[in-house]
Chain A
Amino acid sequence: MDKKNVAVFFGGRSCEHEISIITGLQLIEYLDTNKFNIIPVYIARDGRWYSGQELLNRAIYKDFENKKKVLNEVTLYPYLGQKGLTVTKKACFFGEKIIPVDIYFPAFHGEFGEDGCIQGLFELAGVPYVGSGVLPSAIAMSKNTAKTVVSQYGIPVLPSVTINKELVEKEGIEATKKEIFANNTLKYPVFIKPNNLGSSIGVSKATNDEELLIALTKVFKRDKEALIEPYMDNMFEINISVLDTTEGLRTSVVEIPVTDGSFLSYEDKYMREGKGKKKGGTPKRSEGMASLTRSINPVDLDEKIKNTVSEYAKIAYKAIKASGVGRIDFMYDKNSGTIYLNEFNLIPGSLSFYLWEKSDPVLLYTEELTKIIDRAFEVYSIKQELDRDTGFKAL
């Protein structure tokens, strides 16, 4: 059987650019080379696309501007009939003009890569791609939108208020506070986070007006919307992965991340090196979510909680019509025993392989990747069956 050409995309314009590089390079290492030819595609911070085997060497990212001349600059045009990536600027005089690609694998985190933007380009080009489509990606990226959707399906979510940056700019602090604490939905302490970012960047707790202001300015540095929720002091986080395969939806074992503070911050997720293992041993440098200290499938966690989380995860995944592999983060309120859906991650760090390795049956990373690629081809062929040529005659 011919090998399929898989273009793995990583980097991107979001603030999670470097995390994406780690995810991308990691998954490239584990893709089954008996089945796939791998084409690494790096999207630089200015949005330009580069391809070349030199991208597999991490050193290139430290001084990319000076080292990029060994790479081809590439693009995907947004019209039908694309055989692959078009080389717009060759590294070598004798290089190819078109790099054949059979399927596109985005490994981005955050804006422009996980929120439906790149997925939109793939749709316009009419090419198969891995993971969720435009709509579920956009829903998942906006925390309050995701909560609104899943709450319609009976999944508990925390009450929240979304504050737009313009409100603060135009109406001022008092009006903003009034908006947040209207109807007594919220009271101090509250938890503030960017509505449209992942990886816990810019999250903070506020117990008074001063801290609230500081937290809002922290959010507005990076996002135009802040999501404010009640702060739960007696809770723990439970994460679970969901896999959409040709055999249907599957959930992994749960994990309880271990934090330094009372909530999982960006630093906890990516800057602390834990004991997460990948195939072959402990990573020597920051390996994203894979290296976070965590308790996977803890034996002392009530089975009822695990089952509820699993059930909610499947419902939520179906509710937003997600595909590929994702991770859904929940919060368990120890006071009330309620499990709340916190957020979706439709391209989770390390594609949550560490959860699937501990699941039953075990699913190793290589197999996980093959399954989601197979599913992507299946989804694509369903789309191909749709009749888009017949239209209303208006002219």
Chain B
Amino acid sequence: MSSNNFTIWAISLPVIIIVCGVIYYYTGAIRRRFHEYLLYLQQDEYSPSRFYKWYVKNKAFDRKVTLITTIFCIIICLGIFISKKYDIKVLQEGYNIFGFIYSLSILFLYLLTVGYILRKEKDPTTQAKLQLKMTPRAIRIYSIATLFTYVLTIAIFPFFLVYGIANSYISSCFFFCLAIIAQLIPFFLMLSVVLLSPFEKFANNKYLKEAKEKFEKINPFTISIVGSYGKSTVKNTLGEILNVTKGHTFWPKAGINTIMGVTRKIREELKESDKYAVIEMGTYKKGSITNLCSLTPPKAAILTAINHMHLERFKTREKIYEAKTEVIKALPENGILVCNADDDFVLRAYKEANIKNKYLYGLEKKDGVKLDAYIFDIKYTSDGTTAKILWKDSEYELKTKIVGKGGISSLLASFTMAVALGIEPKLVLAVIKEIEPLSNRLVLKKYPNHLIYLEDGYNSNPLGFNSALEVLKVLDVKRRIVMTPGIIELGSEQFEVNYNIAKKITKICDMVIFVGTENKESFKKAFDEDNFTNISYVENRDEGFKILTEYQNENDAILIENDLPDWYESKVSF
């Protein structure tokens, strides 16, 4: 190799390595920003319209990159101004090696600064409340969106080659282009969702078809669980009971209740040996239940409640009623229907249902209503709940680790269905005794020095919140503390429901840590009226826990009620 070639290589190689390193550093930082927006898009169920509403409401446009860009443009313009004033040729227009090196240095400094700032932001794949899951769909959306970004960035690059980045006023536009691209990231994500929707629809239909065929072939005895609350607890309890006493039972764990969620679980987990299936069905819109019943045709169903949860989507309770009673239409005439008599709308559905084997369960006796399963003498302690169940004129003792009216109502629903299926009541109750409450569904945790936590972070509803407060009230403790953002998605009833809950809190609790701003007004009104002053208002759950950790003491009981997803918490900053 000649000495000239060697010199070129000796200079070029480190430069190439540095260039690659800087680009890698910067692109990693941009990937972090993509993930941050993708987190909220994912929590919005990939709905571009909901994501856009969140974006506008929270003013989630980029500030940091824009600010850095502005600073750099000022530096560049200052540099050009000084070079013109003092005639420093190397910094002026024109393309020479020193000007090129100067431009490149400014660019590198910019990329490194942006990269450093963005990399300090939390990684949503590991550090968010509901972490970003890079599912195949998320990866597809991310890939298309980043493609747009890189194509655009590469497209403006020749501009740099012609004008240099820092050698002319006009070249500072290059930096503004980078800032604009940063602002466009959420829009690229939305555009990707839209562009991919035909593919997603095709893929979903294929998976749905496979799941349906598999389910038809195995044909387990299917019980659908529908209702405004308690579905997961009922599903989990009934699943456990059937699995132990009747045979292999399939039930998708946790809160899986959408058509694609259930589809995936059927494809991944349903086994040939499964004799029973317990399917939780979420009511997201009219027809959701019908679609789920088409995938997993039920022979039995439990209807837990029809209240004002998701009133925001359905607008009226009547519409919620129509949507939820789709499950009754899917039942065969000789199917089994178990209904919660404590809910007026469910009671109405029971009366209107043309099903041979119908059963009512409840915690409250009503005139003219004959309960098949009735629970009474309920007592809560720090070890759980004891109660009595009346079934077919026989009394049975219930002991369980589950607490709260909502949880007990769910247990009674599972009990009723299990005995309706022919399982002996004592056997059912023996299984129930060992069942652990689902995570964050009013779980009672005892710590040293008689410190008690009631963790009820999952998706609160009015009945659940009131049940939790009832349990909190009867615990043998010195102080009672609540941390909550209130209840959301109640449409026109949201203010009143939260106000009433806050009124109850002032009578029971010694301190409140209120999270976020969603229901601040309704809570504040109640607190002011009752002169309740021991309140801390915090931006998010993490801040709330910091205060709690300092304040809590032995003999305290602390209720953590309703943990909102990240996109509801007030502080977003990009």
Residue numbers in A under 8 Å from B243 (CB-CB): 221
> Taking beta carbons and an 8 Å cutoff, which residues of A are in contact with B?
165, 168-169, 172-173, 209-210, 213-214, 216-218, 220-221
From B45-53, B95-103, B328-336, B429-437, give the one contacting chain A: B429-437
Q: Taking the nearest CB of chain B, how far is it from the CB of A20, in angstroms?
A: 23
B244–A221 touching, CB < 8 Å? yes
Taking CB atoms, residues of chain B closer than 8 Å to A169 are 245-247
Residue among B240, B243, B430 with the highest chain A CB neighbour number at 10 A: B430
**Within the assembled complex, what's the spacing in Å between the Cα atoms of A204 and B427?**
17
- A169 and B275 CA atoms in complex are apart in Å by 13
B422 nearest in chain A by CB position:
A172
The verdict on A217 contacting B427 (CB below 8 Å), with A169-B245, A169-B246 known, is yes
A240 CB to closest chain B CB (Å) equals 33
Report yes or no: B244 in contact with A214, Cβ–Cβ below 8 A.
Answer: no
Known: A217-B431, A217-B434, A218-B434. A210 touches B426 (CB 8 A): yes
A218 to B247, CA, bound (A): 14
Can you give 11 contacting A-B residue pairs, CB < 8 Å? A169-B247, A172-B424, A173-B424, A209-B426, A210-B426, A210-B430, A213-B430, A214-B433, A217-B244, A217-B431, A221-B434
CB distance from B127 to the nearest CB of A (A): 14
Whether B427 contacts A173 by the Cβ 8 Å rule is: yes
- Chain A residues in 8 Å Cβ range of B426: 173, 209-210, 213
| Distance to closest chain B CB from A255 (angstroms) | 31
Distance in Å: Cβ of B432 to nearest Cβ of chain A? 9
Which B residues are CB-close (under 8 A) to A221?
A: 240, 243-244, 434
Quick check: B245 and A168 within 8 Å, CB to CB?
Answer: yes
B residues less than 8 Å from A214 (CB atoms): 430, 433-434
Q: Are A168 and B427 in contact (CB under 8 A)?
A: yes
A144 to chain B, nearest CB (A): 21
Leading 5 A-B pairs by shortest Cβ distance: A213-B430, A214-B430, A217-B431, A217-B430, A220-B244
CB distance from B465 to the nearest CB of A (A): 32
**What's the Cα separation between A221 and B424 when bound, in Å?**
17
Q: How far, in Å, is B555 (CB) from chain A's closest CB?
A: 26
1/0 per position for B430-452, CB-CB distance to A under 8 A? 11011000000000000000000
A382 to B87, CA, bound (A): 94
Nearest chain B residue, comparing its CB with the CB of A218: B434
Q: What's the nearest-Cβ distance from chain B to residue A91, in Å?
A: 19
CB distance from B204 to the nearest CB of A (A): 23
A172–B245 Cα gap in the complex (Å)?
9
How close is A381's CB to chain B, nearest CB, in angstroms? 41
What's the least CB distance linking B470 to chain A, in Å? 27
**Bound complex: CA A220 to CA B433 (Å):** 14
Q: How far is the CA of A329 from the CA of B247 in the complex (A)?
A: 32
Give Cα A209–Cα B245 distance, bound, in whole angstroms. Answer: 17
Chain A residues positioned under 8 Å from B434 (CB to CB): 214, 217-218, 221
Fill in one digit per residue for B225-242: 1 if any A CB lies within 8 Å of its CB, else 0: 000000000000000100
Write the chain B residue with the least CB distance to A212. B430
B244 touches A213 (CB 8 A): no
**Shortest Cβ distance from A63 into B: residue:** B126
Known contacts A169-B245, A221-B243; A216/B424 CB under 8 A:
no
**Which residues of the partner chain A approach B424 to less than 8 Å between Cβ atoms?**
172-173
CB distance from A382 to the nearest CB of B (A): 39
**Of residues A169, A173, A214, A217, which shows the largest number of chain B Cβ atoms within 10 Å of its Cβ?**
A217
Residue of A nearest to B425 (CB): A173
Q: Mark B408-434, 1 if CB is under 8 A from A, else 0.
A: 000000000000000010110011011
Instruction: Give Cα A220 to B427, complex, Å.
Output: 12
Interface centre among A169, A172, A173, A214 (most CB of B within 10 A): A214
Please give, as numbers and ranges, the residues of chain A lying within 8 Å of B433 by CB-CB distance. Answer: 214
20 more A-B contacts (CB under 8 A) besides A173-B427, A213-B426, A214-B434?
A165-B244, A168-B427, A172-B424, A173-B426, A209-B426, A213-B427, A213-B430, A214-B430, A214-B433, A216-B430, A217-B244, A217-B427, A217-B430, A217-B431, A217-B434, A218-B434, A220-B245, A221-B240, A221-B243, A221-B434
Chain B residues with Cβ under 8 A from A218's Cβ? 434
CB distance from A369 to the nearest CB of B (A): 38
B246–chain A nearest beta-carbon distance, Å: 6
Complex CA–CA separation, A246 to B56 (angstroms): 77
Interface residue ranges of B196-251 to A (CB < 8 Å):
240, 243-247
CA of A165 to CA of B240 in the docked complex: distance in angstroms? 14
For A165, the closest partner residue in chain B by CB is B244
Task: Report the minimum CB–CB distance from B159 to chain A (whole Å).
Answer: 37
* Nearest opposing residue in chain B for A172, CB measure: B424
Residues of chain B within 8 A (CB-CB) of A216 are 430
**Given the complex of chains A and B, what is the CA–CA distance between A217 and B83 in angstroms?**
85
Whole-angstrom distance between the alpha carbons of A165 and B248 in the complex? 11
Q: Which residues on A sit within 8 Å (CB–CB) of B247?
A: 169
Mask, B396-411, CB within 8 Å of A = 1, is 0000000000000000
A15 to chain B, nearest CB (A): 15
Chain B residue nearest to A211 in the complex (CB): B430
Report Cα–Cα, A168/B430, bound state, in Å.
Answer: 13
A337 to chain B: closest CB distance in Å? 36
Q: Which residues of B contact A165 (CB under 8 A)?
A: 244
The smallest beta-carbon distance between A377 and chain B, in angstroms, is: 40
- From B243, which residue of chain A is reached at the shortest CB distance? A221
Closest-CB distance, A158 to chain B (whole angstroms): 24
Which residues, 24 to 44 on B, are CB-close (under 8 Å) to A? none
How far is it, in angstroms, between the C-alpha of A299 and the C-alpha of B280 when the chains are bound?
A: 60
Q: How long is the Cα–Cα vector from A172 to B426 in the complex, in angstroms?
A: 10
- Using a CB-CB cutoff of 8 Å, which residues 504-525 of chain B contact chain A? none
Measured between beta carbons, the chain A residues less than 8 angstroms from B245 are 168-169, 217, 220
Closest CB in chain A relative to B284 CB, distance in Å: 28
Complex Cα distance A232/B126, Å? 50
Q: Which residues of B contact A220 (CB under 8 A)?
A: 244-245
Complex CA–CA separation, A169 to B423 (angstroms): 8
In the bound complex, CA of A148 to CA of B410 (Å)? 45
**Given the complex of chains A and B, what is the CA–CA distance between A214 and B245 in angstroms?**
12
- Of chain B, the residue at the smallest CB distance from A216 is B430
CA gap between A172 and B419 in the complex, in Å: 13
In the bound complex, how far is the Cα of B429 from the Cα of A173, in angstroms? 13
- In angstroms, Cα B430 to Cα A210, docked, is 7
A209 to B243 alpha-carbon distance, docked (Å): 21
Distance from A213 Cβ to chain B, minimum over Cβ atoms (Å): 4
Docked pose: A218 CA to B243 CA in angstroms = 12
Q: Which residue of A lies closest to B246 (CB)?
A: A169
B241-267 near A? 1/0 per residue, CB < 8 Å? 001111100000000000000000000
Interchain CA distance A311-B246 in the complex, whole Å? 44
**Could you say which residues of chain A place their CB within 8 Å of the CB of B246?**
169
Chain A residue contacts of B430, Cβ below 8 A: 210, 213-214, 216-217
User: Which chain B residue lies CB-closest to A222?
Assistant: B244
Q: Report the minimum CB–CB distance from A210 to chain B (whole Å).
A: 7
Q: Which residue of B lies closest to A46 (CB)?
A: B268
Contacts of B427 in A (CB 8 A): 168, 173, 213, 217
Give bound CA distance, A213 to B399, whole Å.
13
Distance in angstroms between the alpha carbons of A133 and B305 in the assembled complex: 56
Q: How far is the CB of A183 from chain B (nearest CB, A)?
A: 24
How long is the Cα–Cα vector from A216 to B426 in the complex, in angstroms?
Answer: 12
> Which residue of A is nearest B432, CB measured?
A217
By beta carbon, the residue of chain A nearest B268 is A46
CA distance A216 to B424 in the complex (A): 14
Least CB distance from B133 to A in Å reads 10
Q: Within the assembled complex, what's the spacing in Å between the Cα atoms of A213 and B426?
A: 8
**Cα–Cα distance between A210 and B434 once the two chains are bound (Å):** 13
Q: How far is the CA of A127 from the CA of B433 in the complex (A)?
A: 47
A341 to B564, CA, bound (A): 55
Bound CA span A385–B240, Å: 51
Shortest beta-carbon distance, A239 to chain B, in Å?
Answer: 28
Point out the residues of chain B lying under 8 angstroms from A217, CB to CB.
244-245, 427, 430-431, 434
Bound: A376/B131 CA distance, A: 48
Least Cβ–Cβ distance between B259 and chain A, in angstroms = 24
Q: What's the least CB distance linking A346 to chain B, in Å?
A: 28
Docked complex Cα distance between A359 and B427 (Å): 48
Could you tell me the distance between the alpha carbons of A135 and B247 in the complex, rounded to whole angstroms?
Answer: 29
